[in-house]
Structure 1
Amino acid sequence: MKRTGFMGPCYAKAMARRYRFGIEEFERLFRGIAGVELLEGEVYQMSPIGPRHAEVVARLVTRFAQALGDQARVWPQNPVRLPPGSEPQPDIALLKPKDYWEALPSAEDVLLLVEVAESSLDYDRNTKLPLYARSAIPEVWVLDLSENRLHVFRAPKEGVYTEHRVLLPGEEAEPLLFPGVRVAWP
């Protein structure tokens, strides 16, 4: 008996197929599993959070809460629904001030997203940022801890951010939707 390939002749034409998850299916199957997010139907394991990353997020949460009070809901390391197939977990989301008991926030609720990148800069800029632009998130900050730079992305149009500004240490950031509110970043 002549065999073709490892599994024999009946498997010679079988092909591996990629499986894409919907948001509801992802939430059902991955509920309670930490460190995963859904981006365009694919499940990604996120980088572990180290002490420097955690401290920066904690500082920014405090600064946003103090600066904005009840003008925005500070939503740290929680999911945001971006249909049809994404549920990222940005490090910080500033949301419209309302309760989210019934449903996770969606793109329409997001005022600003912040990603803190210690080892995830390429992932944040090349995978998540385009998704945020396609979802019309008005502003995204990517804090690059290795270079100590804050990248501010604004004005999404046709799936890309048309404005990109780099802030250096000592420069305060001003959220687009909160003119006059200055936020120090680490």
Structure 2
Amino acid sequence: MRRWTTVARSSTGFVAGLTAAAVLTVGFLAYQAHATVPRNLSGRPGPMATHAAGASKAPRDQRRPTALPGGSGTGERVVYSLDDDRVWLVGADGTVQNTFKVSPGNVDPAPGTYAVASRSKAITGTDGVPVEHVVRFTTTGGVVIGFSAAVDGSWPTSDPAIRTGGIRESRADGETMWMFATIGQKVVVIR
């Protein structure tokens, strides 16, 4: 009888040790996952995120409405105009490599400078539509903001019950954005 009591006590200690190790491992992994979330997707401003409070509209060339607006930053970058629903892909030398119209969701990012935080080749958008070439750069009010192209070529729905930060592009423009906007690429949002 004495031998079984000793075995039961040692088994209990062994199980308690395994449980403690499992709890520590899960805690460590949770901390590690939280610590490695890109700052722009965790609700906290990232190292490049700057917001211009009360930013005025960037100057436009009235004769060339698709020209890159002045005051849209420097160097290689994606420029996204909230008012014009247009994107410019700008090379390191400041020349526009491409520009195209987009159709935003109903949640806009604040004007400012961000960095591409994550990308997905293909997912389902918040409106239930399969999308590809997803390039995310920030969150606003818990809604992820990024560029994508609907596989079926559709544009976002205007259903106010669905909060979406997807900025839709054509499939061809989505592929161009995908090639240009890699992780860390600067994204400048202007009015």
Per the normalisation by structure 2, the TM-score is 0.29
Structure of greater Rg: 2
Higher strand share: 2
Per the normalisation by structure 1, the TM-score is 0.29
